[in-house]
Amino acid sequence: MPPMLFPALPLLLGATLTFRALRHALCRLPVPAHVRADPLRTWRWHNLLVSFAHSIVSGIWALLCIWQTPEMLVDVESAWSLSGYLLVCFSAGYFIHDTLDIVVSQQARASWEYLVHHVMAMGAFFSGIFWSRFVGGGVLTLLVEVSNIFLTIRMMMKINNAQDLLLYRVNKYVNLFMYFLFRLAPQAYLTHFFLGYAGQRNLGTFLLGILLMLDVMILIYFSRLLRSDFCPQDVPSRQHKDKFLIE
C-alpha cells in the first residue's frame, strides 16, 4: 500500500504548529522564583508545561478512542477510527515540536534520551499515519500519556525543589500505580502481540524492534523512578547539573 501523504502532512504540520503556539502562550505564565533564577530550569519548566498539556489531552483522548472502538484492544493492526487516526497525528506533531524545541534550544546533549525516544515514537506513529496500519497500536501506546500526567507533575515539583510537600508524597504513589497500569501493562501487552511478527519481513517486525528498544528504556526509567522516590539513600549525592532533565 503506497503511503498517504494527504491529508497526513497537513495534519502533522498543523499539530506541530499548534504545539509551537501553545508553548509561546504558556511562556507568558508566571514561573516559580526558584525556577526563574536558572535559565536551564526555566526552559525545562516551559518544556514540561507543553508536555503536561499534551499528556492531559492525549491520555483522555486515547481512553475515549478505546471506549468508542474497543476492537483496538484486539485487532491492533487493522482496527481504525477517525478519532484514533487524528490522535496519532496530534501526538506525532507534539513529538516533532518537542524534538525541534530540544535541538533549537541547544539541549540535545542533556536531553539525548528524549530525542532517541521521540525518533522511535515518530517512526512507529508514521506507520499508522502514512500507511493506515497499526492505528490501534498507536492509540494503545498513547495510554502512557495518562501515566505521564502524574510523571510530569513529579518532574515539575522536583525542578522547583518541592519534594517535601504533601502533594509530592501523595503523587509519587499515584504515579507508581499509574506507571504500572498505563505504561508497563500496555507496553507488555503490545510487546506480546508484536512478538508474533518475529522472523517476518514486514512493518510489524520493524515495529517490534522499536517496541523492544522502548521496553529497555521504560525499564531503565522505572528503576530510576524507584531509586529516586523510594530509595533516595541509594542515589549519589553529587549529580550532574543537568541530571534533573532525565531523572
Helices then strands, counting H and E runs in the chain, come out as: 10, 0
Report the alpha-carbon distance of residue 24 to residue 198 in Å, rounded.
Answer: 44
Report the alpha-carbon distance of residue 75 to residue 90 in Å, rounded.
Answer: 22
Query: Do 144 and 186 touch, CB atoms closer than 8 A?
Result: yes
- Give the global pTM: 0.92
What sign does the CA torsion over 138, 57, 217, 69 have?
negative
Q: Which three cell numbers stand for residue 159?
A: 525542578
Give yes or no for a cis peptide into 2 (omega within 30° of 0).
Answer: no
Long-range contacts of 190-199 (CB under 8 A, 24+ apart): 190/76, 190/137, 190/140, 190/141, 191/215, 193/76, 193/137, 194/76, 194/137
Domain boundaries along the sequence of the chain: 8-228
Q: Residues, the chain, total? A: 247
pLDDT one digit per residue (tens) for the chain, 247 residues: 445 666 899 999 999 999 999 999 999 999 999 999 999 999 999 999 999 999 999 999 999 999 999 999 999 999 999 999 999 999 999 999 999 999 999 999 989 999 999 999 999 999 889 988 999 999 999 999 999 999 999 999 999 999 999 999 999 999 999 999 999 999 999 999 999 999 888 899 999 999 999 999 999 999 999 999 998 776 665 444 444 444 4
Q: Which three cell numbers stand for residue 206?
A: 520493524
Q: Closest Cα to residue 182, out of 222, 139, 218, 144? A: 144
Report the alpha-carbon distance of residue 237 to residue 129 in Å, rounded.
Answer: 45
DSSP string, 22-72: HHHHHTTS---HHHHT-HHHHHHHHHHHHHHHHHHHHHHHHHHHHHH-GGG
Q: Closest Cα to residue 153, out of 190, 179, 135? A: 179
Query: Do 214 and 138 touch, CB atoms closer than 8 A?
Result: no
Query: Do 19 and 58 touch, CB atoms closer than 8 A?
Result: no
Q: Give residue 236's pLDDT.
A: 60
Q: Which three cell numbers stand for residue 13?
A: 504540520
